[in-house]
Amino acid sequence: MRVRGFLRTFFLLALLFAPDTGPALPAAAPGESETSLSPSLSPAPARERELVILTIRGPTTYRDGPGGAAGFEHDLATAFAQSIGARPRFVLMAAPGEILDALARGEGDLGAAGLVRSERPEGKVRFGPSYQSVSLQVVCGRGRRAPSGVMDLPSRTLVVPAGSGEERTLAQLRQALPALAWESPEGAGAAALLAAVSRGKWDCTLASSALVALERRHRPGLKVAFDLGGPEPLAWALGPGSAALESRIITWLDRFRQSGQLDALLDRYYGFVEGLTGSEIQGFRGDVENVLPGFRKLFETAADKHDLPWTLLAALAYQESGWNPAAEGPRGTAGMMMLAAGTARLYGVTDPFDPVQSIEAGAGYLARMRAMVPKTVKGPDREWFALAAYNIGVAHMKDAYTLASRMGKNPNRWADLQEILPLLSEDEHQKTLRYGFARGEITVEHVKSVRNYQNMIERALGQGP
């Protein structure tokens, strides 16, 4: 083990101090980026320029999707690996404690799994700079008597992941509350334990606010009892002899943050999460199960014709009409996609209440909006810009681009533009723009809602985080 750890450190140092001679290598294909940790794992040859990243499967870390591996931690670690010209190789572990133990043995380069930055006994593991702050929340199942504070915890059945920051927090609390007890099932991650709590297997668990916000949309049986302390920093864990790697991470993360790319990545995975009520979540889940199947083929056909994700088109339709073909709006919009009369005529719609015509026209219009998005807008942002244009119109989007540039924001990034759109309704800005007043804040909420519904549809179908 010590020899392997030494060799890994040697090869990694060679990589870190190698001169920058060209662009970063692309990430490995999904099927090539994952392995199982075993005693036979050996360091890759230096020429492969490989960075071994230990993580866990979960909504905020690493998941398999239609487009391959994804997840906030996956994307962030991949961006760092590419910045140093390395090929990322993700090793899936069962729980945070296993990641820290493996790093201490030199069996990986860094741990990226939503880990709370903290001290590790004997200094075997160190933590890099923080990239995100979350609150640790006590989350309980509905129908259970929720604790009102820390003093109530000893009377509840608690469960947390083994070797996690949550478990260390409880261990510290037990010094003042000797009766405090909990379970830590081997191999169970935070998301799995939230699911178990929602089913009533335990009373409560501890989890990060970011994960809880994602999971509560899919598990309306969860409720937050209280926050346990203030915001906690998340950071990557590093093994022994990792000073050079830590230095590169610090430098890179500072540039990544200053460029706005970190905010954009956070927005991609968390920016759409809304505070839907439990009844709203249950209502939507019921519609996904009972109403969506009747229209799914129409969404798939229209989306395929216009090269759109069908789940995006379905989510837009739900935001517009709640999948009601007979819906009517206050300004003359009508039908499943709530098309304005002029748009309906443009796409040859003879009956706005015919779901076939409405969905086809809505898909065509959304595709047209996407085609008009500047080519400088890349990735998923193109779809979000198109959603905004679908709601507010291309003219006001042009004003938003102008204002973003004027205010030093990046007009090609949704994370920046969503800060600008609400300003279109303010006097000091609208009077200086070509197309004048617009309710940009409504557009921002529109895009968030559609993204939220799309994610919830994909999660219900086993495709999303």
**What pLDDT, in 10s, does the model give residues 319-358?**
999 999 999 987 789 999 999 999 999 999 999 999 999 9
The 3-class secondary structure across 331-386, one letter per residue, is CCCECCCCECHHHHHHCCCCCCCCHHHHHHHHHHHHHHHHHCCCCCCCCCHHHHHH
Grade residue 123 by pLDDT with cuts at 50, 70 and 90.
low
Separation of alpha carbons 417 and 421, rounded Å:
6
Domains of the chain are: 2-130+235-270 (3.40.190.10), 133-233 (3.40.190.10), 280-460 (1.10.530.10)
pLDDT of residue 412: 95
**pLDDT band with cut points at 50, 70 and 90 for residue 11:** very low
Residue in 345, 292, 357, 344 with CA at minimum distance from that of residue 318: 292
Output the six-digit token pair for 195. 């699911």
Q: What's the average model confidence in pLDDT over 63-72?
A: 82
CA 440 to chain centre: 24
Burial (CB count within 10 angstroms: exposed 0-12, middle 13-18, buried 19+), residue 30: middle
pLDDT above 80: residue 28: no
Query: CA 126 to CA 246: how far, in whole Å?
Result: 9
| Distant-in-sequence, close-in-space partners of 395: CB < 8 Å, separation ≥ 6 | 434, 435
Least confident of 84-93, 96-105, 397-406: 96-105
Task: Say what the pLDDT of residue 116 is.
Answer: 84
Cβ proximity of 420 and 407 under 8 Å: yes
**In whole angstroms, what is the distance from residue 67 CA to residue 463 CA?**
10
Summarize the confidence of residues 5-31 as an average pLDDT.
Answer: 40
Distance CA 243, CA 248 (A): 9
Give CA angle at 16 (77, 252), nearest 5°. Answer: 45
pLDDT at position 168 is 86
Q: Is 13 a residue whose pLDDT tops 80?
A: no
The residue type found at 302 is: A
- The kind and range of the H/E element at 1 are none
**Residue 323, number of CB atoms within 10 A of its CB:** 18
What pLDDT sits at residue 463? Answer: 66
Q: How far apart are CA 2 and CA 297, in angstroms?
A: 57
Q: What is the dihedral of CA 120, 126, 130, 131, to 10 degrees?
A: -110
In the chain, the amino acid numbered 345 is R
For the cut 70, the answer to whether the pLDDT of residue 15 exceeds it is no
Amino acid identity of 58? G
Measured between alpha carbons, how far is residue 116 from residues 73, 76, 128, 230, 231 in Å?
13, 16, 11, 12, 10
Long-range contacts from 403-406, C-beta under 8 angstroms, 24+ separation: 403/429, 403/433
pTM: 0.74
Q: Is the pLDDT of residue 359 over 90?
A: yes
Share of the chain above pLDDT 90, in %: 61
- Inter-CA distances, 345 with 302, 351, 391, 395, Å: 18, 10, 18, 20
Across 265-277, average pLDDT: 80
Mean pLDDT of the chain: 85
Residues tagged active-site: 320
Nearest Cα to Cα of residue 316 among 252, 278, 359, 374? 359
What single letter denotes the amino acid at residue 370?
Answer: R
Amino acid, res. 92: L
pLDDT of residue 129: 94
Residues listed for the chain: 465
Ranges of beta strands (E only) in 271-327 are: none
Of 332 and 413, which is predicted with more confidence?
413
* 159 has pLDDT over 80: yes
Torsion region of 422: left, alpha or beta (phi above 0 gives left; psi -120 to 50 gives alpha) = alpha
Q: What is the mean pLDDT of residues 8-15?
A: 45
pLDDT single digits (tens) 225-255: 999 888 889 999 998 888 899 999 999 999 9
* Alpha-carbon span 110 to 128, nearest angstrom: 9
